[in-house]
């Protein structure tokens, strides 16, 4: 059972570099989202998607782009990394229907350091 | 916008004893979901228990139970017979019912639970 898979698990970037965090789910979930977790904080929503081709901003969207071309994939792009984006990133998915409807499944996290 | 407050940054309990973690929230909605998540040092997010606001009965999952007070907007987690494996960060989270919850969860800042052997 793969569930929600995030890559890479660890990444070090230099300020100004760009990169993409990959997220894939194999549960055919309509909803997907990205969160970041900073020290002493809970998770905060960056962007979310309710289906292929549809995305929207969460609480902390600045500096990040997303797209959803397929149901399975929801990549998060950092266009010009800044030290303030050093964080642990979580991808999540859920479905509004089915036996486990509305249960949010999380990936294992991606640790990003920007130096 | 909804807010979730966990007023206890850290709690400590002796193994086999009972501990209660507090959570309050602010919302103008009448229908919503509440969750407790456990996050061990691995950072994995593990769902502990969930509560639908329209249900008056408090949710229970084995040693974990909640005290849901809708009018007071309070949602505490009770862990009975604490075990060493319960040591972790615990996050309280809120999710709107409207829109099917597509816009995700609002989290509190967490409570670090320490289990003393």
Asked if A104 and B50 come within 8 Å (Cβ–Cβ), the reply is: no
Beta strands A10-13; A64-66: pairing state: unpaired
Instruction: Give the span between the Cα atoms of A31 and A52, in whole angstroms.
Output: 9
SS3 label, residue B99: helix
Measure CA B114 to chain center. Answer: 16
Asked if B107 and A109 come within 8 Å (Cβ–Cβ), the reply is: no
Instruction: Give the span between the Cα atoms of B76 and B51, in whole angstroms.
Output: 11
Report the gap between the CA of A80 and the closest CA in chain B (Å).
Answer: 25
Sequence-ordered strand ranges (E) for chain B:
3-5, 10-14, 19-21, 24-26, 32-39, 46-52, 60-61, 64-69, 74-79, 88-96, 106-107, 111-116
Token pair 């003393």: residue: B116
- pLDDT score at B99: 64
Asked if B104 and A102 come within 8 Å (Cβ–Cβ), the reply is: no
Instruction: Report, in this order, helix, strand and coil percent for chain A, each rounded to 5.
Output: 5, 50, 50
The predicted-structure confidence for A75-90, as pLDDT tens digits, reads as follows: 999 999 999 999 999 9
Q: Which is nearest to A111 in space by CA: A92, A91, A87, A75?
A: A87
Buried b (16+ CB within 10 A) or exposed e, B37-58: bbbeeeeebeebbbbebeeeee
Residue of A nearest to B108 (CA): A42
Of B45, B95, B102, the CB nearest to A106: B45
Per-residue pLDDT of chain B in tens (117 residues, 90 and over written 9): 789 999 999 999 999 999 999 999 999 999 899 999 999 999 999 999 999 998 889 999 999 999 999 999 999 999 999 999 999 999 999 998 776 666 788 999 999 999 999
Report the gap between the CA of B64 and the closest CA in chain A (Å).
Answer: 18
């Amino acid at each position: 059972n793969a569930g929600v898979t995030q890559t890479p698990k660890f990444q070090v970037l230099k300020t100004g570099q760009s990169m993409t965090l990959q997220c894939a789910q194999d549960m055919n979930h309509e909803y997907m989202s990205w969160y970041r977790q900073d020290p002493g904080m809970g998770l905060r929503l960056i962007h979310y998607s309710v289906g292929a081709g549809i995305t929207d901003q969460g609480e902390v969207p600045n500096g990040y782009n997303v797209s959803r071309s397929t149901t399975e994939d929801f990549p998060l792009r950092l266009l010009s990394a800044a030290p303030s984006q050093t964080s642990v990133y979580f991808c999540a998915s859920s479905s509004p229907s089915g036996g486990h409807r509305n249960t949010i499944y999380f990936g294992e996290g991606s640790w990003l350091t920007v130096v | 916008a909804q807010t979730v407050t966990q007023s206890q940054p850290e709690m400590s309990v002796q193994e086999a004893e009972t501990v209660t973690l507090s959570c309050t929230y602010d919302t103008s909605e009448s229908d919503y979901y509440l969750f407790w998540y456990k996050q061990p040092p691995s950072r994995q997010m593990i769902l502990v228990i969930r509560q639908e606001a329209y249900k008056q009965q408090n949710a229970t999952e084995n040693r974990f139970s909640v005290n849901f007070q809708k009018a007071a907007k309070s949602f505490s987690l009770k862990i009975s017979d604490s075990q060493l494996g319960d040591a972790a960060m615990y996050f309280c989270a809120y999710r709107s019912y409207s829109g099917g919850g597509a816009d995700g969860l609002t989290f509190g800042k967490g409570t670090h639970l320490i289990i003393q052997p």
